[in-house]
Amino acid sequence: MRGLWVRFPPLALYNVAAVAFGNFLHYAVACHVLKSKGKYNTMQSSVTPSPTTIDVRELIVGSGPFGPNEVRAIADSLGTTTDTHRELRLTVQELQQVGDLSPAASVRLGVGLYLLGRSSEAVVSLKSGDGSALALFALGLAQAALAATDDACGSFDAARTAGYPAGACLAAKANTLRAANKLEEAANALSNATDEESASAEYLAAQGAIAVERGDSTTDTLELLQKAVESDSGQPLALFCLGVLHDKLGNDDEAIDSYQRSLLRYPATVGALMNLGLLYEDRDDFSQAQQCYRRILDGLPLDAPGREEAISRAKLFLKDSAASGDRHLDEQEQRQRDRLEQVLTLPVSDFELSVRSRNCLAKMGIQTLGDLTLTSEADVLASKNFGETSLVEIKDILASKGLVLGQFAEPSMAAESSPTFDEPVGEQTEIHGLPITELNLSVRARKCTTKLGIMTIGELVRRTAEDLMECKNFGVTSLNEVRERLVERGLKLRGE
């Protein structure tokens, strides 16, 4: 399998929109990745999504309150509303252009930088803050994102002392220690919780994550994580851990569902996307798998610990998935060709035909369905006593097998004449000179055009559909794709 003992960070997104699951990527608490059935076991902190549209600029720059609820609202909106990321980025840029920020404004800027995945800058800004409970907690998250474990734990302890919700501080500290592979210290951090704090979804998720890392009883760990999800149906860390456990147990449907639900919340993690991508590959859904790997390549911040290894793995997986997808398509096409050959050899005597039709076909020497696909409608009607009723009868039989009369018939002499080609004029001349890569064709279609020596759009439109179909592995799907791309530019293949 392809899993390794490595450490990968969660994700952040700068200007690239995520392509799957409807949310953005983010760089949050440092995470630990371990080998699990060739998949990656990655832990993260959590936030709760909300479909509510908010005014990000007003929350950060305005004079209103700015505390845990406001930060959570921004984080929730980042996971469900695509415009929020752009608004947050512009607001942060606006604050950075201000000369001397007040301590309170520095906290707001630091939180915004952290939410954008720019943790190094966030640490600098938050240290210039007002020392409030929120500033200390956000500082801990940014330090944890940079794998500064001791500093982060100190900040979480200070935030708890300053009045930040104790349950959130304990869970964040435990997750940070677990990410540093300090499982005993992580468990001890949770032992200080009150009964009320230990019943929270965050606490149960952190506890369940430690249990997964330690390899505790699967039954007990599943029960613990289910309690977390019952308390908060979208708790991302608990859902991720459930995905890991179901993956180990071979419950692929449950694993995929858990990973998908965990990714519906901001932030997403490398581990969830890696694991989900591999599960998609197991189901031959290579397109979805490649989307997962591309999100990793698009979303990792430059200062993320373990970024080089994460990018290397994602590139490798993407390359393997693309190659496997091509092989899968080749196998599918071969199976389709084999099936077609079997159908073409079926004798017409196996079908219920009228005596008139049967006699006419016998006179024409037509014995199989393949013979009918090689005979044009005009040739059939030219046969004596073969009328419209018999023609409909024959067409119905062929249609039942996915065939058409004369499907593979040789073209007539009139059709064999070379199709005309209109030379480009005006703006079309420039379009014809563009490289064929401008059409953004699929891998299969692009390979076939390369084999045919087609380098520009102009060279492509000088070819007929028959020219393209002569290339191995270039089927009807690829032909339709080429036609659609050309139509988008007001062009068409020669002879069409």
**What sign has the CA pseudo-torsion 347, 349, 353, 357?**
positive
Which residue is listed with tokens 């950075």?
96
111, 202, 149, 121: which is closest to 29 by C-alpha? 149
Structural domain boundaries in the chain: 35-327, 345-412, 432-496
Going by C-alpha positions, the residue among 87, 88, 77, 151 that lies closest to residue 116 is 88
Cα–Cα distances (Å) from 73 to 115, 205, 287, in that order, read 12, 21, 33
Question: Which residues have C-beta within 8 Å of that of residue 214, sequence separation ≥ 6?
Answer: 183
Which class does domain 345-412 fall in? mainly alpha
Q: Left (φ > 0), alpha (ψ -120 to 50) or beta: where does 403 sit?
A: beta
Omega of the bond leading into 267 within 30 degrees of 0 (cis): yes
What is the model's pLDDT at position 25?
35
Query: Which amino acid would we find at residue 400?
Result: S
Q: Following CA atoms 213, 214, 217, 223 in sequence, which dihedral angle do they give, to the nearest 10 degrees? A: -40
pLDDT over threshold 90, residue 8: no
37: helix, strand or coil: coil
Q: Which helix H or strand E contains 87, and what residues bound it?
A: helix 82-96
Mean pLDDT for 453-472 is 82
Per DSSP, the three-state class of 368 is strand
8 Å CB contact between 184 and 157: no
Give the residue from 97, 50, 46 showing the smallest Cα distance to 70.
50
Asked if residue 259 has pLDDT above 50, the reply is yes
pLDDT band at 133 (very low <50, low <70, confident <90, very high): very high
By three-state DSSP, how is residue 163 classified? coil
| Contact (Cβ atoms closer than 8 angstroms) between residue 469 and residue 479 | yes
- Percentage of the residues of the chain whose pLDDT score is greater than 70: 80
Can you say whether residue 250 is alpha, beta or left, with left for phi > 0 and alpha for psi between -120 and 50 degrees? Answer: left
Query: 392: which 2 tokens?
Result: 């409909």
The pLDDT of residue 305 is: 63
**Does 490 have pLDDT greater than 70?**
yes
Query: 139 pLDDT exceeds 90?
Result: yes
C-alpha distance across the termini of the chain, in Å: 49
Q: Which of 72, 9, 73 is nearest to 42 (CA)?
A: 9
Q: Is 6 helix (H, G, I), strand (E, B) or coil?
A: strand
Q: How far apart are CA 450 and CA 431, in angstroms?
A: 19
* Whether the predicted pLDDT of 356 surpasses 90: no
CA angle 140, 141, 144 (to 5 degrees): 85
- 432-496 has which CATH code? 1.10.150.20
CATH 3.30.1360.200: does it fit domain 35-327?
Answer: no
**pLDDT per residue over 277-324, tens digit each?**
888 888 888 888 888 888 878 766 666 666 777 778 878 888 877 776
SS3 state of residue 40: strand
Q: How many other CB atoms are there within 10 angstroms of residue 323's CB atom?
A: 12
Q: Which of 48, 97, 93 is nearest to 74 (CA)?
A: 48
Convert the pLDDT of each residue in 474-484 to its tens digit.
777 788 888 88
Token digits of residue 65: 């309150």
**How far is CA 468 from its chain centroid?**
31
Whole-number Å distance between alpha carbons of 208 and 462: 63
- Dihedral sign, CA of 102, 103, 108, 109? positive
Token pair for residue 488?
């988008």
Scanning 180-217, the segments in alpha helix (DSSP H) are 183-190, 195-198, 201-214
Joined together, the tokens standing for residue 49 give 């999504």
Distance (Å, whole) CA 406 – CA 377: 6
Report the run of H or E that residue 460 belongs to, with start and end.
Answer: helix 457-461
H/E stretch holding 35: strand 35-36
255, 258, 261, 262: CA torsion to nearest 10: -110
**Three-class SS of residue 345?**
coil
Do 318 and 293 touch, CB atoms closer than 8 A?
yes
C-alpha distances in angstroms, 258 versus 51, 240, 247?
20, 6, 10
Quick check: do 345-412 and 432-496 share a fold?
yes
pLDDT at 49: 42
Please compute Rg for the chain using Cα positions: 31
Q: Are 314 and 130 in contact, with CB atoms under 8 Å apart?
A: no
pLDDT over 60 (residue 464): yes
Distance of CA 415 to the CA centre of its chain: 46
pLDDT band at 267 (very low <50, low <70, confident <90, very high): low
Q: Which of 236 and 496 is assigned the larger pLDDT? A: 236
- What is the spatial distance between Cα 258 and Cα 46, in angstroms, rounded to a whole number? 15
413 band by pLDDT with thresholds 50, 70 and 90: very low
Q: State which H helix or E strand residue 36 sits in.
A: strand 35-36
- pLDDT tier for residue 3 given thresholds of 50, 70 and 90: very low
Reply yes or no on whether the pLDDT at 224 is more than 80.
yes
